Structure 1
Amino acid sequence: MFVWHEIFGVPPAVITIVGMAKNVGKTVTLNYIQKMFHNEGWVLGLTSIGRDGETFDALTNIAKPLISVQPGIILATAEKVITEPAGWEYLQDTDFKTPLGKVIILRAKSLNKVVLAGPSKNREIQELLQSLAAWGAQCILIDGAFDRQSSADPLVSNQVILATGATVSRDLTELIHATQSRVEQLTLPACSQFYRELSNKSQAKVLIVNAGVPREMSLTTSLLRPVEWSELFGLDCDAVIVKGAVGDGLAQALLRQLRPPKIIVQDASKIFVNPNLWRQLKDHHVQFSAVQTICLLGVTINPTYPGGKGFDAEEILQKMGKVLSPMPVLDIMREAKFK
């Protein structure tokens, strides 16, 4: 079995596992890391953003691996998913509500199979993390929803593991391209202290900065059409601070600029730009940075898609590893790491 510090090189803290799509091995990764921590003697906390761990996927009806909870793990999940109370030590009620009842905190007495159903709001997750730590969790795993990039929000989690695989694309080149783009987004560098202070002082969704002077835009959303972004760029700006989501509209407008401004985002979980546009932005030398950075620990790969077919496991490991190096790239099922 892998050893945590040999793979990732930093102490574990609050770790979110984020999937790029359904069936990319997020649950397999979660189970493996749980077992790794259990073997190494860590007291682990476990919860989720939203629901996971069903026998069959709620959207696709495809059979899924169950979430296995190791003995001693401190778990936060909805009360109605606990079907065998004898396997758990009750610790605490919370005020957080889900469609499956209120979230409760338990300690596993033995190896258990479970459905995770945690809060869906980041603010509630933050409070829940404090409770898990108060009950003795030395590190915490969060099962992030596949369709919510906010799972990687650094205000919630200070470490992220990205799960990718064949269901992202059945073309290996496109899969690697999409994963590389997401890794580049999640590892944006920190912006300068000047832009960080401007962002922290303003409540505006968008700030236009020209010659060091900020101008707040009266906007209710940052998801503007390309023509609307182009109008803002026409105000003469050398930087744009976006505190909301960043979508394809901004990307398309930037590609039309001869001298595109710098773009400062709140954090990389707010970026929703498709891989092809992201690559064009890089070729166009558009500079992105983040007020809050994300610590991406590594990438796990699932070479198969439902039905058992997919890519050659060693080929995808080697090709993905070379592109993402020095980022750790792991095939959890084979316990193989790109070297």
Structure 2
Amino acid sequence: MNTKKIITSLFPYSSVSIIGMEKNSGKTTTLNYILQNLKGSKVIGLTSIGRDGEDCDRVTNTHKPRIYVEKGSLVATAKNLLCKCDITKEILAATGISTPLGEIIIMRALSNGFVDVAGPSYNSALIRVRDLMLDFGCDLVLIDGALSRKGSAGNLVSEAAILATGASFSPDLTKVVEESSHNVKMLQLPKCSDKTADLTRQILKMGRIGFIDTQSNIEVLDLPTSLNSHREIVDAVKPNHKYLILGGAVSRGLIESIIQNRELFKSFTIIIEDGTKIFIDSNMYHKLSMIPVRLEVLDSINLLYLTCNPTSPYGYSFDSEKFCELLKTSIDIDVVDVVDVVGGEL
């Protein structure tokens, strides 16, 4: 994928999320590359689900690239981090959204410089911040995802997404490629039929969990979440049930219970809201598909491309050409080596 295509692929959208499979996967480098190459063509808004932009990762204690914005960009960040943003600022709005680092403030950059970004930690507030920045004149809002927080890629939050993977996920190249391919597959799960989607939405309006049978009848369970409700869900299965509907996050524990009770779930289809809601690895997905149980979604994720970072901050790296080639042969979207594109180290 050439560098021009990387940027032009963003043009149709007003909001794009960048999500990482692991810390130090090249997500911030990808973001900086986009910011640099969009300057002058669009008014950019920037926020994060969680914190990003600091020069040292507080979890792994490794160096991180800082986020550099151009004059005219909008930034939504926590009040306590304003002093760490070395730009001249125009405060546009105090949102009333609280975080551990203070209220989320929307500002306009009156000069170029580095920013430290911490946005809301839940999607409804992230949507509000996004909409405010669009109201203030942004052409494109970029949302920097945080560790294990794929929800910002959902269609309610952003119109498109970029997934970042890298050597930091594991020193085992085969494992990184396998899990990267699996994550792409989960984000691109097929949509259910229109008829099934209508029935699924009826269930989700009444609760979080339910069944659709072979005659298109629906049954809603009185359970607020699938977490810690594995036994109740398994016990509720009937011979004529065809679909299991799950709202919210789908835990590993529930999928393990389904695999353990495979005879009850043969030829079932599980429908979830979108691919950001399921948290299982490739091995568990393989076991599920062997029952067979099919996974479908109400809304598919518009995944633009996968970026890969062959360098790990933990002292090892992959052969860049081999890494990219293995990824390209295992997934059906474009793959971009962010170190090669940017021409520098992370």
Q: What TM-score does the superposition give when structure 2 sets the normalisation length? A: 0.90
Matched, 1:207 2:210: yes
Tell me, in whole angstroms, the C-alpha distance in 1 between the residues paired with 2:228 and 2:181.
26
| Equivalent position of 2:236 in the other structure | 232
Q: CA RMSD in A?
A: 2.2
**Structure 1 residue 57 and structure 2 residue 63: aligned?**
no
Q: What's the secondary structure of 1:335's corresponding residue?
A: helix
The question of whether the paired residues in 1 share the 8 Å contact of 2:213 and 2:243 is answered with yes
Residue 276 of structure 1 is matched in structure 2 by 283
Contact 1:199 1:243 in 2 (8 A): no
Contact 1:55 1:63 in 2 (8 A): yes
Q: 1:85: how far off?
A: 6.9
> Residue deviations 1:306-326, cap 9 Å, x none?
14421111110111111113x
Residues 154-163 or 273-282, more deviating: 273-282
Q: Which amino acid aligns with 1:168?
A: F
Q: 1:85 to 1:173 in 2, by over 3 A?
A: closer
CA distance in structure 1 between the aligned counterparts of 2:177 and 2:298, rounded to whole angstroms? 27
- Residue identity in the other structure for 2:322: E
**Contact persistence 2:310–2:323 (CA under 8 A):** yes
- CA shift, 1:54, in A, is 1.4
Is this contact kept in 2: 1:241–1:263, CA < 8 A?
A: yes
AA in 1 matched with 2:295 = F
Q: Secondary structure, in 3 states, of the residue corresponding to 1:55?
A: coil
2:320 aligned partner, one-letter code: A
Amino acid at match of 1:213: N
Give the CA deviation at 1:86.
Answer: 5.8
1:9 deviates by: 7.5
- Among the aligned pairs, what percent are the same residue? 35
TM-aligned CA deviation for residue 251 of structure 1: 2.7
Distance 2:191 2:278 in 1: 15
Q: Name 1:181's counterpart in structure 2.
A: 182
Residues 15 and 142, structure 1, Cα contact 8 Å, conserved in 2: yes
Residue 207 of structure 1 aligns to a residue whose secondary structure is strand
Q: CA deviation at 1:259?
A: 2.1
- Once residues 50 and 6 of structure 1 are traced to their aligned partners in structure 2, the CA distance between those partners, rounded to angstroms, is 25
Distance 1:50 1:5 in 2: 25
Whether the 8 Å CA contact 1:239–1:264 is kept in 2: the answer is: yes
Query: Where do 1:231-310 residues align within 5 Å?
Result: 231-255=235-259, 256-257=262-263, 259-310=266-317
CA distance in 2, matches of 1:107, 1:66: 18
What SS does the corresponding residue of 1:238 show, helix, strand or coil? Answer: strand
After TM superposition, list the pairs within 5 Å mapping 1:156-175 onto structure 2.
Answer: 156-175=157-176
Q: 1:101-159 CA distances to partner (integer Å, 9 max, x unpaired)? A: 22111121222111101111211111111111111111110011112122222211121
Superimposed CA distance per residue, residues 42-88 of structure 1 (whole angstroms, 9 cap, x where no aligned partner) = 11111111211112112122121111112221111112212267622
Tell me the residue number matched to 2:340. Answer: 334
Of stretches 100-109 and 183-192 in structure 1, the one that deviates more from structure 2 is: 100-109
- CA separation in 2, counterparts of 1:86 and 1:171? 41
- Matched with 2:224 is 220
Give yes or no for the alignment of 1:19 onto 2:23.
Answer: no
Deviation for aligned residue 1:227: 5.0
Matched residue type, 1:210 = D
Partner in structure 2 of residue 8 of structure 1: 9
TM-score under structure 1 length normalisation: 0.91
2:131 alignment partner AA: Q
Structure 1 residue runs without a partner (length 5+): none
Is the aligned partner of 1:79 residue 2:86?
A: no
Is 1:195 the counterpart of 2:221? The answer is no
Matched, 1:28 2:35: no
Q: Give SS of 2:29's match.
A: helix
